[in-house]
Amino acid sequence: MNQVTAAGFARLLARLGADEDAAAAEYERLRLTLVKFFDWRGAWPPDECADETLDRLVAKLEGDTGINDVRAYAHGIARLVLLERLRRRVPAIEDADLAAVPALPSPDPAPPLQECFERCLAALPGDTRTQVLHYYAAEGRTKIDNRRRLARSLGITDNALRSRMLRLRERLERCARSCAARAESIGIDAALRHVTAVADTPEVKPDDD
């Protein structure tokens, strides 16, 4: 992990706001957003993952003055940290091209549907959530290769994996839409608390195609 210097941390604060107090508050909001990002995706411990992300951001800012949106860049780093953590848990994906993962847009403030989707994703069982994240990671050829490795690691065909992920995606979308609709009447915080495990997805047998 990078050793953050006082100068490096001050440089980050300066990029978050001109006023010292406002910049410090913005830093805490960014860190909390990152902790939630990792917590909802099952990366543990989430506060450690968030700190690693911020350490990398500070190091990057020391040598790169072309970063315009610090918050969006932080979420791009968070995505890489997440995939690195997941890769340690799923050896079959160890050759994934992490550099191909696009930076995430800054989610602050997040629309209700996005927050609901994140909570529904977090409600999946750990192994299933990991499979979903790997299935939709990267682009182009890397994504195709990742999906083939994932199918082999699960002992099912590519078509069976595609069917499984389609069913999971439909369940997640229904869950998110239901949560967002509820948020309109009871508020987003209460709606998020109503989200329960999206765990009733039937298993796909190895010979499914």
Other CB atoms within 10 Å distance of the CB of residue 193: 12
- Considering only 9-13, 49-53, 90-94, which range has the smallest mean pLDDT? 90-94
pLDDT of residue 54: 93
For the ranges 17-26, 58-67, 85-94, 99-108, the maximum mean pLDDT occurs at 17-26
Mean pLDDT of the chain: 77
Place of tokens 């860049």: 73
Using the predicted structure, report yes or no on whether residue 2 has a pLDDT greater than 60. Answer: no
**pLDDT, position 52:** 92
Q: Which residue has the higher pLDDT, 72 or 99?
A: 72
Statement: the pTM of the whole predicted model exceeds 0.85: no
Q: Contact 11/61 with Cβ under 8 angstroms?
A: yes
Query: 115 or 178: which carries more pLDDT confidence?
Result: 178
**pLDDT bracket for residue 112 (50, 70, 90):** confident
**Which DSSP letter does residue 103 get?**
P
Q: Specify the DSSP class assigned to residue 109.
A: S
At residue 11, does pLDDT exceed 70?
yes
- Count of C-beta atoms within a 10 Å radius of residue 198: 21
